Each structure stands twice: as structure tokens, then as C-alpha cells.
A and B are shown apart, each in its own frame.
Chain A
Amino acid sequence: MHIRTEVSERHTLSVTVVNEPGILARIAGMFAGRGYNIESLTVAEVTEDETVSRITIVTSGPPEVIDQIIAQLDRLPPVHRVHDLTAEGPHVERELALVKVKGTGDHRIEALRLAEVYRARVVDATISSFVFEVTGGTDKIDKFLELMGEVGLVEVARTGVAAISRGHSTF
């Protein structure tokens, strides 16, 4: 017998939740328990009184699975609202990466030039290394890392995607 695989779409979900202990475990566990993908997940408090957190989840799956993911999130009592930013229209996605590059000579100079092109900032430097801070969409970061791979990339830390809708409307 064989296990079936299906075409999948990438969706960015913005989920506001009650900031209570265990909520992240509840959501991450729901994804694991039902076999959904998490490509990235970020979470932080977003209100002054610290009662609401926003979780941004990048997930992928066939359209009917995406619909199920939204419904399954929505039915959790501590979840306020779930927005499928990918489906709802224009939105901004950003992530931040800290990129350590090791090397001397031409590689080092090339790394600096590329960093400038990508508007990456140098946040740490030694004689034989840099740490760059770069922000942007996932594609941009991926591309930057690919280039850095040619010039001495040794370590990466990424935040995962934070996202928000464009325009004046809020949720």
C-alpha cells in the first residue's frame, strides 16, 4: 500500500488568542495531533494589558485542509479570531534573520557588498566574521541566505514570519 500526498498551498494565518498559559502548546499540539504543517510560528503579546497575543502561523496544505485548520483553530475556546491573510487580500509579511558569515579576503568583501544590496546591517564584526541583521519577506531572506552560502555562511537564526493586513482596517 502507499501513503497519498496532495498538492498544497502556503497560507499565512493571523490568530489572536487569550494570553493564557498553555495556549501555544494547545495550538501547536492541535497542529501536530491532526497532522497539519507548521512552516513557521511566531507569538507575542500585542495589547498593553498583556491579555491578547497574536500568533502568526505559516502553514501549507490543500485548500480543504487550510479550511479545516482555520475551523479547528476557531473552535478552540481561547482563540478570539482567525484570519487567513493569504486569502483575505493584501498584507505585509516580514521576518528577521541573524546571519553569521565567516571568512577573509575576497569573500569577506563580497559578503559586505551583498549585505548592502539587501539592506542588511552589520550587528557584530570580528577580523574573520560578520553577523548581519536582515529583514524582509521569506523569499528575500531565503535568497540572501543562498548568496551568503557562497561567501562563508556558518549559522542562521530566523524569527519566522510576522504579518499584518494592509490598509486601515483592523481585527
Chain B
Amino acid sequence: MAQERTGADILIETLTDLGVEVVFGYPGGAVLPIYDAIFKQDRIRHILVRQEGGAAHAAEGYARSTGKPGVVLVTSGPGATNAVTGITDALMDSIPMVVITGQVPTALIGSDAFQECDTVGITRHCTKQNYLVKDPAELESVIREAFRIATTGRPGPVLIDLPKDVQVAGTAIDRPRTSIGYNPQTEPDPRLIENAVEMIAAAERPIFYTGGGIINSGPAASEALRTLARLTGAPVTSTLMGLGALPASSPLWLGMLGMHGTYEANLAMNQADLIVALGARFDDRVTGRLDAFAPHARKIHVDIDRSSINKIVSAELGIVGDVGRAMEAMIAQWNKRGHQAADLSGWFARIDQWRAKRSLDFPNSTKEIMPQLAIKRLWEATKHRAPIISTEVGQHQMWAAQHFNFEDPNKWLTSGGLGTMGYGLPAAIGAQIGNPDALVIDIAGEASIMMNIQEMSTATQYELPVKVFILNNEYMGMVRQWQDLTYQGRHSHSYSEALPDFVKLAEAYGWKGMRIDKPDALDDGIAEMLDYKGPVMVDCRVAKLANCFPMIPSGAAHTEMILQANEVSGEMDDEAKALV
């Protein structure tokens, strides 16, 4: 007869067997048996965060930068609810994550016990799947299924709620729970691939519109994109989540598209006769006003999630499958048919006219540090080290997306779908854990960084040399920008009042703290930050009232871009105010 194991032992052994190396967590009453099992082993490394939300974002950063699932372990009640934002973030950005939550003992469930909450109820709609396990004999099969669901198909978070008595109870039995018969389609239909290739070969003004799905699919998908772009000669734009799939140095690269995308990317989408959407989902930040979106284009949409196809924009050709596999199949078909890249010189001549607008240019200043310049200089100083960049959410995030040029996938960690302020620091910590030798920088804003500032302590504890580069303009800049655009500059509660002294704060946490406040000190300051072996927080004082352009106002068409601040008008009508 097999040896009896407790639920906690089964958990640790199964995680180990699945190759889990790191767990981000925070202990509490309802997970004490698991923490005791962790104490007695040395194969899984536990990273103690300072708040459970930090654990979830750290797991996201770990997952996004390594391609492995992130694992989170938190207690019941507040432990679980604190993690909910990070779980929702992972759902929106399709990040593979497995969350283990403690729960009160089964006999107390539903009794409003201490630190009880209905975790599976609360997380039902922000997880891809979740479980309450009441029998330790089912636990191993549930954990294995959870990892399979989290990491295959369209990746996402899966939660396992584990009552304390199930962690303690011993069992010698392994009684797999009924399999849910989950079987995502990864192989694309070859006939549809043939159609797609013929459409691409015949297009006069094609464009590849790529997204986070290519990053999720793995490095091979980025390789396939590079080959496909080279073979067809078609220009490539990307969503926020897809940056790095095609090198920014490629002549085919148009820059990011959408609300803060480049003029050439948005105009090319508007004028294209064929849009090939690869692992992207036509988010409202990308399309702008839908009835004016890409009026001349036929659309091919490749996505592993069938519900993404025809959800927002109807596609002439929808292909369900893994985007990397689909591109490989397209390449094979392209070669088999002996297609040559079409003459797109007329198309590129128009693109070059749009490029000549130099939409990412910004006014320079000798007195103040322009935030865009700070990011450009940071990129220049670090590009030879292929850094991993995380961001918080807001103007600095958009400036980073515009001015930091990514050459490879898995180097760009940002909260795209949910737009979670406070994501960047814990994500950087998770990325540094997964990539101990990499240069990891959180490009932050002074408001966002305050949302998970406590995680500085985590970096100190594990001696993680993360760099936090704060573009400090003393405003919730994107909020203020929208107030400038839509509310005649009434800055309601968007000033970052009572900020801490970030240099002293850094020192209080055992970090190096620095301040850069003059343009001529920028390069030296960045060099000093990079030279320091440990964690550094840089308070980079930037121009206070700079706004992020170009911009397609919410609800406007791609052709209605605002390129510079002087094109901004004062107040919008109610239709526009109701848009997000």
C-alpha cells in the first residue's frame, strides 16, 4: 500500500514534479500546514512578498519573462482578496498563473469563520478555471489539470482553494477528479492557411498587426513572425503587449499602433487593403472608433481563442489556433507555392510619408528633463544589455512603449488589459528572480510606484538588483492629461500631494537612492544607477506638464490623431466623456 501523504505534502510534491522552482507567497493561518511542508524541503524556493497583490504581480513578471507559469501561495480571506487584482490582470493579459489559496476547514465553510471568504465565488470570473478541493485524494489530479489549463490554449490564471483540514488530512489514495475534457485547438486548419497565404500574396497594401499572443506562444513564434515579415515584405505594427516580437530596428517595423501609437502605424492600418491580425484582439485602445476602423481592409484574424475572432471586428478569414504554429504553416505554404514578396514600393512610399511626420518627436528643453528624453537616454545606455523593462501604468508606460526600442520578446512586462498601477515593481522583482543575471528596470511614475511600494522590502531581502526609474512629474499624469483634454484642465485630485522623499525612502529600505533633476545630469545619473550592484531607486524629476502624444482621442478614428499638444481642444461632448 502506498504511503500516506498529507494534502500539504501532495501539493509540494506535485509542484516539484511539475518543475515549479519558485513560489511567490505570504503565509497566514489557513496555509500554515503548507508553509510547514515548505519549511521541510529545499527544492521549491519561496519568495516572501510584502502584500499578496505583490505576489500575484511578481508571478506575472516571472511568467512573462521566463515563459514558465507563475505560482502564487496565499492565505484565505484577505490573502485571497488582495491577490484578486493580480489574478484579473493575468486573465486580461493571458498570463499563465496558478494560485493556491488557503481556506478555512471544510466544516467551517459558509459559517463566516475568521478570515473566510468565498474565494472560488469571488474569483470565478477572473480565473480561467478554479477549484475548491475537499478531498486530498483528488488534489494531485486537480493540480496537474490546473497547470495544464493555465499554460495551454489561451493562457490564464487558475486558482485552487485548499481548506486547512484538506492540507492536514492524510491519504494513501490518488482518486483523480473527473477530467473536464478541456482540449484547446492549437493546430490551424490547413485550408484556411492556404486561403490566408493567397490573400497575403495578392495584397497591395498588407500589414501585420501583431499582439501579445505571439509572446505567449513562445520564442519560436517571434522567429516565425520575423521570417514571415521578411518573406512577404509586409510592414508590421504591434499592440502594447506584443512589443519585441519583431525587432524595433527592423525596416519593416512601424512602431506600436493605437491610442498612443505612431502616425505611420495607425495610418497604415487605416489605408491597408489587408490586415493580418496575429495573436491580437482588436482592443478599443487599438481600433479607435470602430465604424471608421480600417475601412478598406479585408481582415485575417489568427487567435487561439475563438471568442476573440469577430468579437469586435469581423474578419473575412478567422483562423483558430496557436499563432506560432499558424505562422509556421503560412511560411511553409508560402514557400511551397513559390510566392515571392510582392512589389510593395508604392505602399512603403506612402508609409515613408507618414513616417516623415516624426510623430514621436517631442519639444526639447534645456531647463527641464523631458520624460521622453529620459527614456531614450535610458534605452541608449542599456540596449547592449538587452534589459527586461517593466512599467507601471500611465504616461510613463506609454512613453516607454514609444521610446524604448525592444529587439526581443519577453523583455517587456506591462499591464495592458487591466491597466494596473502598482504592477511594475513586483513584476520586476518576479522577473529578476527568474532571470538573476539580467538587468531589470521598472520604468515608473511617482503615483503608480506608491501602490506597491512595500515590495521594495522584498527586493532588499532577496538582494535583487532591480532598478526603479521614476519619471516624477508630481501628477497622475494620464489622469491629468485626460482632464486637460476633456474637462478644460480642471485637475480634480490628480496632483500627487505629499510625496515621500524617494531618495530617503530608498535608503530606508536599504536601497541606493538617487535624484536626477537637470537634463545635463541625466546620462551620468543613469550610468551611476547602472553601475550600482544592488537595487536603486531613481527619482528623475521631469517636466511637470508634458502630455503623451501622439494620441487618438477615445472614440476618434485613426485619421483623427492629435500629434502635438497645441492641437488639443478644451471640452468634449457627453458621448466622448462616456468612453474610457
A residues near B, CB below 8 A?
1, 18-22, 25-26, 29-30, 33, 51, 64, 67-68, 71-72, 74-78, 80
Q: Determine whether B501 belongs to the interface, using a CB cutoff of 8 Å to chain A.
A: no
Tell me if B489 counts as interface (CB < 8 A to partner A). Answer: no
Residue-wise, chain B 552-579 has the 8 Å CB interface mask toward A (1 for contact) of: 0000000000000000000001110010
Q: How far is the CA of A69 from the CA of B80 in the complex (A)?
A: 30
A64 contacts which of B132, B182, B310, B573 (Cβ < 8 Å)?
A: B310
If A18-B180, A68-B310 are given as contacts, then 18 extra A-B residue pairs at C-beta distance below 8 Å, sorted by A number, are A1-B573, A1-B575, A1-B578, A18-B178, A22-B121, A22-B130, A22-B132, A26-B125, A64-B310, A68-B311, A71-B306, A71-B310, A74-B306, A75-B305, A75-B306, A76-B129, A77-B128, A78-B129
B548 to chain A, nearest CB (A): 26
Indicate the member of B120, B180, B574 with the most A CB atoms within 10 Å. Answer: B180
Name which of A51, A68, A75 has the most chain B CB atoms within 10 A of its CB: A75
Interface residues in B119-139 by Cβ distance below 8 A to A read 120-121, 124-125, 128-130, 132
Say if the beta carbon of B307 comes within 8 Å of chain A: yes
A29 touches B124 (CB 8 A): yes
Alpha-carbon distance A133/B149, docked complex (angstroms): 45
- Contact A22 B180, CB 8 Å, known A1-B574, A1-B575: no
- Contact partners of B154 in chain A: CB under 8 A: 75
Give the residues in chain B near A68, CB-CB below 8 Å. Answer: 307, 310-311
Ranked nearest first, the 8 interchain pairs of A and B with the lowest CB-CB distance are A71-B307, A77-B182, A77-B129, A1-B574, A18-B180, A78-B180, A71-B306, A1-B575
Closest to A81 in B: B181
Interface size on B, residues (CB 8 A): 25
Q: Is the CB of A21 within 8 A of B125?
A: no
From B130, B178, B575, contact of A51 by CB (8 A): B178
Query: How distant is A27 from chain B, measured CB to nearest CB, in Å?
Result: 10
Report the minimal beta-carbon distance from B144 to chain A, rounded to whole angstroms.
14
Chain B hits for A18, CB < 8 A: 178, 180-181
Please state if A77 and B124 are interface contacts (CB–CB under 8 Å). Answer: no
Q: How far is the CA of A170 from the CA of B130 in the complex (A)?
A: 30
Partner of B307, one of A1, A21, A75, A77: A75
Which A residues touch B181, using CB under 8 A? 18, 80
**Residue of B120, B128, B307 ringed by the most chain A CB atoms within 10 A:** B307
User: How long is the Cα–Cα vector from A19 to B181 in the complex, in angstroms?
Assistant: 12
Does B250 belong to the interface (CB within 8 Å)? Answer: no
B307:A33 contact, CB within 8 angstroms: no
Write the chain A residue with the least CB distance to B154. Answer: A75
Contacting pair B132 A26 (CB below 8 A): no
Q: Which residues of B contact A33 (CB under 8 A)?
A: 125
Min Cβ gap B323→A in Å is 16
Consensus secondary structure, chain B interface:
loop
A75–B121 alpha-carbon span in the complex (Å): 19
Docked Cα-Cα span, A22 to B119, in Å, equals 12
* Shortest Cβ gap from B87 to chain A (Å): 15
Are A77 and B149 in touch, CB under 8 angstroms? yes
Closest to B573 in A: A1
Give 23 pairs: A residue, B residue, CB < 8 Å, sorted on A. Answer: A1-B574, A1-B578, A22-B120, A22-B121, A22-B124, A25-B121, A29-B124, A29-B125, A64-B310, A68-B307, A68-B310, A71-B309, A71-B310, A71-B311, A72-B307, A74-B306, A77-B128, A77-B129, A77-B180, A77-B182, A78-B129, A78-B182, A80-B181
Chain A contacts for B305, CB-based, 8 A? 75
The distance in angstroms between the C-alpha atoms of A26 and B124, with both chains bound, is 6
Once the chains are docked, how many angstroms separate the CA of A51 from the CA of B177?
10
A64: chain B residues within 8 A (beta carbon): 310, 314
Q: How far is the CA of A29 from the CA of B349 in the complex (A)?
A: 50
Q: Is the CB of B128 within 8 A of A30?
A: no
Which residues in window 275-316 of B have CB below 8 A to A? Answer: 305-307, 309-311, 314
Q: A113: shortest Cβ distance to chain B, in Å? A: 50
Q: How far is the CB of B95 from chain A (nearest CB, A)?
A: 17
CB pair A25–B124 under 8 Å, yes or no, is yes
Distance A33 CA – B307 CA, assembled complex (angstroms):
15
- Find the A residue at minimum CB distance from B130: A22
**Complex Cα spacing A33 to B181, Å:** 25
A28 to B: closest C-beta gap in Å:
10
A25 to B: closest C-beta gap in Å: 6
Question: In the complex, how many angstroms separate the beta carbon of A24 from the nearest chain B beta carbon?
Answer: 11
Q: In whole Å, how far is B431's beta carbon from the nearest beta carbon of chain A?
A: 28
A-side contacts of B125, CB under 8 Å: 26, 29-30, 33
Which residues of chain B come closer than 8 Å to A67, judged between CB atoms? 310
Determine the residue in chain A with the shortest Cβ distance to B178: A51
Among B130, B305, B306, which residue has the most Cβ atoms of chain A within 10 A? B306
A29 to chain B, nearest CB (A): 5
Q: Which residues of B contact A29 (CB under 8 A)?
A: 124-125
- Interfacial residues of chain B within 406-444, with CB under 8 A of chain A in the complex: none
Distance A1 CA – B577 CA, assembled complex (angstroms)? 10
CB distance from B98 to the nearest CB of A (A): 14
Q: Nearest residue in B to A73 (C-beta to C-beta)?
A: B307
A2 to chain B, nearest CB (A): 9
Choose from A20, A30, A71, A72 the contact partner of B180 (Cβ within 8 Å): A20
Bound state CA distance, A84 and B132, in angstroms? 31
| Chain A residues, Cβ within 8 Å of B180 | 18, 20, 77-78
Residue of A nearest to B309 (CB): A71
Residue in A21, A68, A74, A77 whose Cβ sees the most chain B Cβ within 10 Å: A77
Residue interface mask B180-222, A partner, CB < 8 A = 1: 1110000000000000000000000000000000000000000
Q: Which of B124, B310, B573 has the most CB of A within 10 A?
A: B124
Chain B residues positioned under 8 Å from A25 (CB to CB): 121, 124
Docked complex Cα distance between A29 and B124 (Å)? 9
The closest CB in chain B to the CB of A17 belongs to B180
**Which chain B residues border A75 with CB–CB below 8 Å?**
154, 305-307
In chain A, what residue has the closest Cβ to B306? A71
- Closest residue to B311 on the A side, CB-wise? A68
